[in-house]
Amino acid sequence: MLCLVSPTDPAWVDQATSNLGALLVDHAHCEMKAASNALSLAARHPDDVEIVLALTELAKEELDHYQRVVKMIMARGLTLSTPPVDAYAGLLRRAAHEKSRHPKIEKNAVLVDRLLIGALIEARSCERFKLIVDALDALETGRDPEMHAFYTELFACEARHFRTYVELAKRAGDTSDAVEARLAELAEKEGNIVRELAVETFRAQVHG
Ligand SMILES: [Fe+2]
Ligand SMILES: [Fe+2]
């Protein structure tokens, strides 16, 4: 899906749908991280109006999602715990520092990588939200209509956020082909990380 090279293990879907409360709690943390990451990128590039406007708009949407997830958590009598260390995002950032196989992007290379990492995180959320929707569709009993409607809406948002990040990266990098090659390279690394994390920790997480 989108640029992803490694699909999520179907066993993850069983884990997530059998513990929708844990999924919601992890999801809340992801929305907050998505908002703060977008804001921190916008804050670092105040001279780039397109980045500032696109990413503050995206952050507003992520905060709206965050509030809605928190309300769902409260309504279900669950507790929003402290977020665990984000191994997935940490490994992704570290992987971006490894030597590249592709010609170096000369212009704004660090910014391009940060935008592409944002794109990959959105792509993985999009894939997993769609898996949740399909799994809830397949349930004969116990389908959760609120979760179904929510994840159907969010799956489309994540696809849009993915495109926003890729477009901003292409614009910042000034060379569309090189940015696409770099996205493919990072997507391969992302696939390896997801597979490694699935072996180590198999929980109802939106990422990893
Ligand atoms: Fe979101
Ligand atoms: Fe998003």
Q: How far is the CA of 126 from the centre of ligand 2 (A)?
A: 8
At which residue do the structure tokens 């397109």 appear? 50
Which-ligand-closest: CA of 31?
A: 1
**Whole-angstrom Cα distance, residue 89 to residue 94?**
9
Which-ligand-closest: CA of 121?
A: 2
- Quick: pLDDT tens for 29-74: 999 999 999 999 999 999 999 999 999 999 999 999 999 999 999 9
Q: How far is the CA of 164 from the centre of ligand 2 (A)?
A: 10
The burial class, CB within 10 Å (0-12 / 13-18 / 19+), for 49 is exposed
Which-ligand-closest: CA of 65?
A: 1
Nearest to 116 by CA among 148, 157, 74, 163: 163
Query: What mean pLDDT do residues 69-94 have?
Result: 93
pTM over 0.95: no
Predicted pLDDT at 203: 54
Query: What mean pLDDT do residues 13-33 have?
Result: 92
Predicted pLDDT at 106: 80
- Quick: pLDDT tens for 90-116: 999 999 998 888 777 888 999 999 999
Q: How far is the CA of 162 from the centre of ligand 2 (A)?
A: 7
Going by pLDDT thresholds of 50, 70 and 90, the confidence category of residue 169 is: very high
The share of the chain scoring above pLDDT 70, in percent, equals: 94
